[in-house]
Structure 1
Amino acid sequence: MIKKMLSFKSIKNRLILILLLCSFTPLLLLRFMAFPKAQKDLEEALISNLEGVKQKQTEIVKMWFDERKHDAKVVSRNISAVLGESINERVNNFLKLNDYIEMLRAEHKYEDVYVTSREGTVLVATGKEWVGSNLISRDYCREALNGHVFISRIQYFVRNEGENKKGDAESPIMFISAPLMDTDNLIVGAVILRMDTVHLSTIMKSAKLGKTGETFLVNREGIMLTESRFADELRKKGIIQHRTTLELKIINPHTGKLTNGAQKCLSGKDGYNAEGYINYDGSKVLGAWCWVPEYDCGLLAQIDIREGYGAAHSLKKFVLSALLLLAFPLILVAFYFGRRISAPILNITDATKKITGGDLGQRVKDSGKSDEISGLAKAFNVMAESLEEKTTKLTRYTTNLENIVRERTLELQSTTNFLNSILAGSTEYSIIAEDLNGNILAFNKGASLMYGYSPEEVVGNANVRILHTEEDVRSEKVDHILEVARRTGRYEGEVVRRRKNGEVFPVHVTFTSRRDENGRPIGFVVISKDITKEKLVALEKEIVNNVNKLIASGLDIKEVYKNIYLELKRIVDFTWLGVACLIDGAEITEDSNIVDGVLSMDWLNTGQYAFHALAQSVAVKSGEPVLVTDTLGGKYTIDQELYKKGICSYLCFPLNSKGTPIGTIALGSKKKNAFTEIHFDLLNQITPQLAIAIENTRLFVSIRESEKKYRDLVENAPEMIHEISPERKFINVNKTELNKLGYSLEEMRQMMLEDIVPNDHREEIKRHFKHIIVTGSSELETVFLTKSGKEINVEINGTALYNNKTGECICARAFVRDVTERKKMEEQVRRSEKLASMGELAAAIAHEIRNPLGAICNSVGILDTHLKLTGQDKDLLEMIVGQSERLDRIIKDFLTFAHPREPYFSLHDIREVIKNTIFLLEQDNRFTDKIEIKETYESILPKVYIDTDLIHQVLWNLFVNSLDAMSDGGQIRIMARKATLFLRDAVEIVISDTGSGIPSHELDKIFEPFYTTKSEGTGLGLPMVQRIIDDHGGTVDIKSKEGKGTTFYIKLPVGNEKLAV
Structure 2
Amino acid sequence: MFLFRSIKNRLILILLLCSFTPLLLLRFVAFPKAQKDLEEALIRNLEGVKQKQVEIVKMWFSERKRDAKVVSKNVSTVMERNTDDKSRGFPKLNDYLEMVKSEYGYKAIRITSTDGTVLVATEPGRIGSNIMNEDYCREALNGNVFLSKVQYPAPEEKKDEQADNNVPAIFLSAPLIDSNNRMTGAVVLTADTLPLTEITKSAKLGKTGETFLINREGFMLTESPFADEMRMAGLIQQRTALELRVINPLTGKLTYGAQKCLSSNSGYDADGYENYDGRRVLGAWCWIPEHDCGLLAQIDIREGYGAALSLKKFVLSMLLILAFPMTLAAFYFGKRISAPIFNITEVTKKITSGDLGQRAKDHGKKDEISELAQAFNVMAESLEEKTIKLRHYTTDLENTVKERTLELQETSNFLNSILAGSTEYSIIAEDLNGNILAFNKGASLIYGYKPEEMIGVANMRILHTEEDLKAGKVDHMLEIARKTGRYEGEVLRKRKNGEVFSVHVTFTLRRDEKGQPIGFVVISKDITEEKIVALEKEIVNNVNKIIASGLEIKEAYKNIYRELRRRIDFVWLGVASLIDGTKIVEDSHVVDGIVLSTDWLHCYRALSHATAQDISIKKGIPVFVKDTGEGAYQFDRELFVKGIHSYVCFPLKSKGITTGTVTLGSKQKDAFTEAHFELLSQITPQLAIAIENARLFLSTRESEKKYRDLVENAPEMIHEVSLKGNFIHVNKTELNKLGYSLQEMRQMTLEDIVPNEYRGEIKRFIERIKEAGSSELETMFLTKSGKEINVEMNGTGIYNTKTGECICVRAFVRDVTERKRMEEQVRRSEKLASMGELAAAIAHEIRNPLGAICNSVGILDAHLKLTGQDKDLLEMIVGQSERLDRIISDFLDFAYPSEPSFSLQDVRDVIKNTLFLLAQDSRFTDQVEIKEVYESVLPKVYIDPDLIHQVLWNLLINALEAMPEGGQIKVMARKANVFLRDAVEVVISDTGKGIPSHELDKIFEPFYTTKSEGTGLGLAVVQRIIDDHGGTIDAKSKEGKGTIFYIKLPVGNEKWAVQDKLLVG
Same fold (TM over 0.5): no
**Could you tell me the TM-score, scaled by structure 2's length?**
0.42
TM-score by length of 1: 0.42
Larger Rg: 2
